[in-house]
Structure 1
Amino acid sequence: MHIKRIHMELVAATLTAGIGLLAATGSLDLGVGWESSGPQPGYFPFYVGLIVLLASVASAAQTLFALRRHGEKRREIFLEAEQVRRLASFFLPMAVFVVVAIQLGLYVGSALYLFYVSWRQGKYHPLAAVSLGLGFAMALYLIFEIVFQIPLHKGPLENMFGVY
């Protein structure tokens, strides 16, 4: 499996077009016109979103026109199979961390993420990996909750331990 450059260019153009569209439509609720005191709150985000959307469409069109003009040259390989596997081994644990941190809190998510990457990718002994994950979670708690008094998201742990 390999990913071609043209596909990545079109994916990037599609993603940025989605961001631009989201910004433009989201700002409609705030108002995009002018009032007697100046622009409404959604004025600038709306037009920035439109600019991003138009630039994305232009980028996709440029990619497709270049494909027609240069043919096979535009079909060069962007990522080989081994590179895709290496990126996935980095990205997938990070994506799982985000989901776990949202559901179970930053402390649990951080401990599990550090345990996994140090054990699987860092080749640490499982006991050392567990120690690293738990130690980091405790350090986070001490630094943010105790020293700076900034509560971090704890998920169901808040209710279970009656915190805050």
Structure 2
Amino acid sequence: MHIKRLHMEIITASCLAIVGVLGASGALELGVAWGDSGPKPGYFPFYVGLIVAAAGIGCAIQALIKAKSSEQQETFLESEQTLRLLSFFLPMAAYVVVTIFLGFYVATTLYLFYVAWRQGKYKPHMALLVGVVFSIVLYLVFETAFQVPLHKGPLEDMLGIY
């Protein structure tokens, strides 16, 4: 599976446009008009979001205009590179999803276990130890030292935290 430069430019431009639209739409909740004491909180982020969205759309159009050029048709990623990239990206995406449902510390433990075991070639018990110890250190640093509570998911209810 070869990924062409044109495809990557369109994907990147689309992601940029989506980020701009999300930023602008989020700013709408804060108000984007000019109030009695000046601009409302969403005024600046709204227009920055629109500029970012316009830049993303412009980049996509530019890529499509140059679609037939040899530069756009060159291979961006070979099969082996794509698999290597996916082996990094998919566990990270799973980490984000697991963080939402199970909390930061459980997700971090599972992620570090998996990465140390599969990619770091650690033995399973050592990989699990790495994940657990690192999560405990994170808990001590954030929750105890800095007093910054992080999302704990169902673990918070089970342990009666907060």
TM-score, structure 1 normalization = 0.89
What SS class does the counterpart of residue 151 from structure 2 fall into?
A: coil
Rate the CA distance shift 1:143–1:22 in 2: closer, same or farther, 3 A: closer
Rg (Cα) greater in structure: 1
**What percent of counterpart residues are identical?**
59
**Partner of residue 17, structure 2:** 17
Query: CA offsets, 1:109-153, max 9 Å, x none?
Result: 111111111111111111111111111122222222333333222
Report matched runs for 1:51-70 at 5 Å. 51-68=51-68, 70=69
Report matched runs for 1:2-151 at 5 Å. 2-68=2-68, 70=69, 72-151=70-149
Q: What RMSD in Å do the two structures reach over aligned CA positions?
A: 1.7
Q: Distance in 1 between matches of 2:3 and 2:142?
A: 42
Q: Distance in 2 between matches of 1:163 and 1:35?
A: 42
Rate the CA distance shift 1:35–1:157 in 2: closer, same or farther, 3 A: closer
What SS class does the counterpart of residue 32 from structure 2 fall into?
A: coil
Deviation at 1:25, TM superposition (A): 2.8
The residue identity in structure 2 corresponding to 1:29 is: E
Which has the larger displacement, 37-46 or 114-123? 37-46
Q: Distance in 2 between matches of 1:35 and 1:55?
A: 28
Rate the CA distance shift 1:53–1:144 in 2: closer, same or farther, 3 A: closer
TM-score, structure 2 normalization = 0.90
**Could you list the runs of 5+ residues in structure 2 that have no partner in the other structure?**
none
The residue identity in structure 2 corresponding to 1:122 is: G
**Could you list the runs of 5+ residues in structure 1 that have no partner in the other structure?**
none
Count residues with an aligned counterpart: 162
Deviation at 1:96, TM superposition (A): 1.0
The residue identity in structure 1 corresponding to 2:45 is: P
Q: Distance in 2 between matches of 1:147 and 1:37?
A: 39
Deviation at 1:14, TM superposition (A): 1.0
Rate the CA distance shift 1:60–1:149 in 2: closer, same or farther, 3 A: closer
